[in-house]
Structure 1
């Protein structure tokens, strides 16, 4: 998918949506929180909030929504309602199910979602154990904004973060890195400083206007940064934001990496 990673908690009192960082983002996605009220209390789902523009999943629209103030988010929801695409279930009213095999959790997830009124803005992600079907999806869905497919081991439990039991197969091979800083003005950064999966800090090559403007929107609501330096002596502005940047996998062994887009 190409949206905003979100965990949905159906509590006894309502619905809470949580970003990857743990930040409460319920106010940004009320159009999917409200349908979540139809879930049984105690259900916790893992998925992605996506926005479709002109029949294509729009990463920019999802990021704009995620960065908006509640009033603006409500306006955007009226213009382009979101969908919540569910990958997994973490808990049921009976308790925590993260230790159960994925094939069992998926069956539980489908059972829970089947109880929602139809049509619903909460939907299960498509899945198959047929390699030819997966290949057809990989080949045909790129134009709809789907970035690739995910292969999961059916016996695997749920684990936070990266796991050796699943693999993303993207149309371009990339790795996820955490944005920790930038150079240039906050409204239009020239380059980024990212933390790679192995913990190394690296500065990217100069980024394009489109990526720069997307990140500038996010930095505008993150507050002021602080002056910092890499081990190489390069200066940058350090920030604490909930942003993940894709970089080309083949560049991560170099001192300067190539950023492709926000996640």
Structure 2
């Protein structure tokens, strides 16, 4: 079988291309790591979270060359499985609490893209060039920082998809080998439980404990989510509490909500988006 023109990675994410790469996808916290004179970590929404992942920042300071920017996911292993709850606890903790959690459950940084190497911006380069740069940068770097596994062999990608869920791997991701880097998603996920990203435009309930979220789905529709689980509501409250005065808004179905500043992205179950409400699984 000839390789596809894409790459697949593990979800940690997998990647697929038209020259295709395939990779595995983990269940962790999206993290962009900047190594300049010091290390700074931030989320996809540009929230600085260095203190929550100080063990990864220290590892990056010690092993990565200045002028490096990496995009990936912070993951935590518990009893031989990737644990999203453990990663969420780390990501939402205070500096003191994060230090205690790191001693018990140290984090790993699974990297799937290289945005800058040697001070050179690589975001406009094809994925295959960025992947090669990523492997060069990480070649001398030991764990806990490592590149996500990737392949252009469909049979290998299928084996990953079928046999690795027991380790907490969610699925695989496919990306065109010729694609440049985009902050928005330009790759496809194949999960055992499929999800999509949605932009948060508001919430229902008090800002310090939102009960539901108003989101814009990939097809442009606005809708309210189902009730948020308590830990997720607490996490989101910290992100919207400082957004300033809100206004009243309405979804496409006429349901009221309080607006919030743009920038927050959440993951929702894809199967729910055909209905009037969606189920939020995590903050991206």
Same fold (TM over 0.5): yes
Q: Hey, what does 2:72 align to over in structure 1?
A: 47
1:202-259 per-residue CA deviation (whole Å, 9 max, x = no partner) reads: 012x44xxx51221221443427846341444233444587543333344344x1331
Unaligned runs of 5+ in 2: 1-25
Root mean square deviation of aligned Cα: 2.4
* Aligned residue runs from structure 1 range 82-121, under 5 A: 82-116=107-141, 118=142, 120-121=143-144
Residue 212 of structure 2 corresponds to which residue in structure 1? 191
1:130 corresponds to 2:150: no
Q: TM-score, normalised by structure 2?
A: 0.80
> After the TM superposition, which residues 182-261 of structure 1 pair with which residues of structure 2 at under 5 Å, given as runs?
182-184=203-205, 190-204=211-225, 206-207=226-227, 212-222=229-239, 223=241, 226=246, 228-231=248-251, 232-240=253-261, 244-254=265-275, 256-259=276-279, 261=281
The separation in 2 between residues aligned to 1:136 and 1:30, in whole angstroms, is: 34
- In the TM superposition, residue 55 of structure 1 has moved relative to its aligned partner by 1.5
State the match for 1:176 in structure 2: 197
Indicate the residue corresponding to 1:31 in structure 2: 55
Instruction: State the SS of the aligned residue for 1:175.
Output: strand
Q: Does 1:72 find its partner at 2:92?
A: no
8 Å Cα contact 2:210/2:237 also seen in 1: no
Contact 1:3 1:48 in 2 (8 A): yes
Change (3 A) 1:122 1:96: same
Residue 192 of structure 1, CA deviation: 3.0
Alpha carbons of 1:189 and 1:144: their partners in 2 closer, same or farther (altered >3 Å)? farther
> How many Å separate the matches in 2 of 1:248 and 1:158?
25
After superposition, what is the alpha-carbon deviation per residue over 1:161-180, rounded to whole angstroms, capped at 9, x for unaligned? Answer: 122xx211111232111334
Q: Is the 8 A contact 2:31 2:71 kept in 1?
A: yes
* Residue aligned with 1:221, SS: helix
Structure with the bigger RCO (C-alpha within 8 Å, sep 6+) is: 2
- Identify unmatched segments of 5+ residues in structure 1: none
The count of corresponding residues between Structure 1 and Structure 2 is 253
